[in-house]
Structure 1
Amino acid sequence: MIAAGSTNVGRQVTWVATLRATLPAFAELRGGELALLSVEAARALDTRLTLATLVRRLAQAPVPVAGVVALGAITAEDAAAAEEGKLPLLQLPSGTDLRDVEREITRLIADYEAQFERRSAQLYHLLTQRSLTGEGIPGLLDTLAERTGQSVACYAPNGELRSHRSKGSARIALQALRPTAKGETNLLNQQIWVEVIGPNDYPSGFLAVAGNQLDTWDREAALRGAAAMALEIAKEQAVQAAEERLRGDFLSNILTGPPSDLAAAIQRGQELGYSLTLPHMAVLINLDDANPTVLGRVASSVQNELTRRGITAPISRRDTNVLAMIPVSGNARPRDLIEQIRERLRVDYPTIAVAIGGQVNTLADWRRTLEEAEQALILGRQLFGTDRVIAFSDLGVYRLLVRLRETPELWTFYRETLAKLADYDTRQRADLIKTLEAYFANLGNLRATSEALHVHRNTLLYRLDRIKEISGMDLDNAEEHFALWLALRAHRVLATLDEAS
């Protein structure tokens, strides 16, 4: 047991020195020894030789010892002397045989590597046992903090703090830390060592150990702790995957078609924690070229963000995106909530795109809001980019054209208005459609249009004449002017057919 001087327990021990039977009590000290004594034997040697006196002398030596190990009662004066001299003072249990202690310390020092490896293996065994008994990451951190005497913390793959066991300056440092790789760093006068949990290319998280001064054992404990936590997190992920499949199957069954037994579906949803009688809206979180592992993390991040806000929502991981059916209650502004989640996700996934469908009131309409979110995602990125949440309601006239996308009427209209112009651009590598778009964007102002296209006014006039000649549509005719404007928007919508398939 450490009775005093705990701030310096990390000192290196070079050898063990035992109280002599004759004065001087300790002879030929070279520094770094662990002074081993019996309080009773010291008094027998000299009645004036108290433990406090010995501690002060050993602390003031030219090269001080690493610490003092005492058998017997330790008084407040003894502890104060150790604190004053910044010398670790350890107390042995009563009845301990000092000769056995001396032999064990000598063997430990003489065979340090073997003992170190044994200690490391014992720690890993203890950690895995605690994991098997269901103590989770908090239990593993408790063990690491206890066995190192340092502050410890576990982080998610994005560097967000998950759990910690820390105090003082180390607590603040670990809360401020956002680890991204293995290695040593210093923060707020704290030495911090970070280990990667899981594979380096796709880490499951990070483990950090922090203190005023770390030693080899602290780093070894972090390494063993990270290995044990990798197993714990794998177990968590297996449970989450099973729950995700269960919830995903539930959501897929509803989206496949209206449930035959609506009451049973609502009851099943309640068992999973959902309030299906509330209005809902589909939210798609898309990440191009994402692999299943990354999408799984995105789904977990969305789930965590909703849970943090007290919202339960069905979530399903799909081929290239994550679908969440967000409940809407009272005067809530779901778009604001989704924008907050998008901003949070963009920190870790800068290319993410988020689209939402319209609000629907019944399970039978969930498919419709999903389709609207899909259309908003495909077309909205072309129109608005990904710098904000893309809503189906933002699409304006495109909402009508999307509904007509696969009808013969829209194709016939397109062929009669813009198809010849599009074919000409493709064959001749011309920019007539681009010219037409700029013309409409600038409300027919020739000067503004030529500046937007960076062409001379005469060039613009020539292009407008070619547009009239090829399409057969006259921009000076109000109806044909509107038909071309609408055809340009149909052109964008029809171009999304391949992307949507």
Structure 2
Amino acid sequence: MPIEMAGDLLDVVVLVDPDRRAAEADTSALEQAALVLAPLLFHERRLAELEPQLRRDLVDRLVSGEGTENVFAQAAALGHDLHRQHKVAVLEWPGAPEGAALCDAVTRAAERLRRDVLVGSRGATTVVLVAGEDRHDPGDELYRAVSDELGTGAGAIGVGGHCDVLTELPHSYDEAVRALAVRRRSQDPYGSTGFDELGLCRMMGTGEGEREADRFVRVWLGRLLDYDAHHHTELAMTLSRYLESGCSYDATSEILLIHRSTVRYRLQRIGEITGHDLGVVETRLNLHIATHIRNVLDPPR
């Protein structure tokens, strides 16, 4: 007996009667069962169809700061407890299925990890609220699990800071977006990066912060980078290794496998090209920051 409602076949209820003993009353009971089950099954199907959208809407409200007291009840209805501590993670997997398919893959990955999550999306970015009392960064294990689900590791995850209360979720989301942007521009664009790992690069990531970082690099290294590009030299790399070594000629020569006198000559040329006096402590600090930012965002090929 088909169970139908609004023209949709919802299920089938069957009476197994191998000895043909069923009477008219049994057939009538079967019909009544189909009538009773139809609205229940229709309701369950509608809930199943609406649940992903409800999750996306709820996540969007929470990370945008539009959450109100009723979000706790809404989350509970979806099987998620918002009273716990959370971290926000954002994911991008170019070339992989977007939208609901990617959200489903993330949900399955989280289930395998026994992580309690609330998954939504904003544009092409999947947003995950990861519940947990521990301060452990879930990014690396989530990246591996999602890679397994999708069959490709060509994706990236950014993880924001820990949230003790609901009102901190927008801040954690912003941190996660910044961490993701830095990861995507780094030498290895695939993998996971937590905001807590960024150090100086915290000022970068999106919007004006990223533009200001690029401007800072151009102010301090622009002439040197242009010289390297035009003359096919590696003076910017020499400067970076010199500053990272604590301004040691010997250490720089060992790292670059060149003679100590060559290091000295290159540094002299760097000063002439840039107009910066490497003997000034503040100048060396700004150059060190600029080379560090460049190495993270636009690493030498």
Structure 1 and Structure 2 fold alike (TM over 0.5): yes
2:186–2:298 CA contact under 8 A, matched in 1: no
- Please say if 1:316 is aligned against 2:120: yes
Structure 1 residues without counterparts, runs of 5 or longer: 1-130, 136-236, 497-501
2:63 matched to 1:255?
yes
Q: How does 1:389-404 map to 2 (within 5 A)?
A: 389-400=192-203
Cα distance change, pair 404–349 in 1 and its aligned pair in 2 (3 A): closer
Contact 2:240 2:292 in 1 (8 A): no
Q: Distance in 1 between matches of 2:232 and 2:46?
A: 53
Q: How far 1:490 moved relative to its partner?
A: 4.3
Instruction: Give the alignment partner of residue 133 of structure 1, picking from 11, 17, 20.
Output: 11
Contact 2:56 2:119 in 1 (8 A): yes
SS in structure 1 of the partner of residue 96 of structure 2? coil
- Is this contact kept in 1: 2:244–2:288, CA < 8 A? no
TM-score using structure 1 length: 0.44
Describe the SS at the equivalent of 1:389. Answer: strand
1:341 aligned residue (136, 142, 145): 142
Q: For the residues of structure 1 that align with 2:180 and 2:211, how far apart are their CA atoms?
A: 24
Q: CA deviation at 1:416?
A: 4.8
Letter of the 1:133 counterpart = D
The match for 2:179 is: 376
How many residue pairs get aligned? The number is: 259
Larger helix proportion of the pair = 2
Match of 1:305 in 2: 109
| Structure number, greater radius of gyration | 1
Deviation at 1:305, TM superposition (A): 3.5
Displacement of 1:303 in angstroms is 1.1
- Contact 1:281-1:356 within 8 A present in 2 as well: yes
Summarize the alignment of residues 150-165 of structure 1 with structure 2, pairs less than 5 Å apart: none
Q: Aligned runs of 1:46-61 on 2, under 5 Å?
A: none
Q: Which runs of 5+ in 2 are unaligned?
A: 1-8, 14-44
Corresponding letter in the other structure for 1:353: A
Partner residue, 2:249: 446
Q: CA deviation at 1:473?
A: 1.9
Of 423, 431, 454, 2:234 maps to: 431
User: How many angstroms apart in 2 are the aligned matches of 1:132 and 1:409?
Assistant: 57
Alignment counterpart, residue 327 of structure 1, candidates 131, 155, 175: 131
2:89 aligns with one of 273, 283, 295: 283
> Does the 8 Å contact 1:258/1:363 carry over to 2?
no
CA deviation digits over 1:178-235, x for unaligned, max 9? xxxxxxxxxxxxxxxxxxxxxxxxxxxxxxxxxxxxxxxxxxxxxxxxxxxxxxxxxx
Q: What amino acid sits opposite 2:54 in the alignment?
A: L
Relative distance call for 1:493 and 1:457 in structure 2 (3 A) is closer
Q: TM-score, normalised by structure 2?
A: 0.69
Deviation at residue 381 of structure 1 after TM alignment: 5.1
**Mapping 1:8-157, distance limit 5 Å:** 132-133=10-11
| 1:258–1:364 CA contact under 8 A, matched in 2 | no
User: What is the one-letter code of the residue matched to 2:103?
Assistant: A
Query: Does the CA contact (< 8 Å) of 1:283 and 1:370 recur in 2?
Result: yes
Q: How far does residue 441 in structure 1 lie from its aligned partner after superposition?
A: 3.2
1:325 shift after superposition? 0.8
Match of 2:75, as an amino acid?
A: G
Give yes or no for contact 1:421–1:467 (8 Å, CA) kept in 2: yes
Deviation at 1:487, TM superposition (A): 2.2
Identify if the C-alpha distance between structure 1 residues 383 and 449 changes in structure 2 by more than 3 Å, giving closer, same or farther. Answer: farther
CA RMSD of aligned residues (A): 3.8
Tell me how far apart the structure 2 counterparts of residues 387 and 419 of structure 1 sit (CA, whole Å).
28
Residue 412 of structure 1 deviates from its aligned partner by 7.3
In structure 1, the partner of 2:21 is none
- Change over 3 Å in CA distance of 1:451–1:383 after alignment to 2: farther
Structure with bigger RCO (C-alpha 8 Å, 6+ apart)? 2
Matching residue of 1:467: 270
- How far does the alpha carbon of each residue in 1:261-299 deviate from its partner, in whole angstroms, 9 at most, with x for none? x2122222222222222222111233233342xx64442
Partners of 2:267 and 2:106 in 1: CA distance: 49
Provide the C-alpha distance between the structure 2 equivalents of 1:423 and 1:387, rounded to a whole number of angstroms: 28
| 1:376 match: secondary structure | helix
The match for 1:274 among 80, 96, 107 is: 80
1:356–1:409 CA distance, 2 compared to 1 (3 A): closer
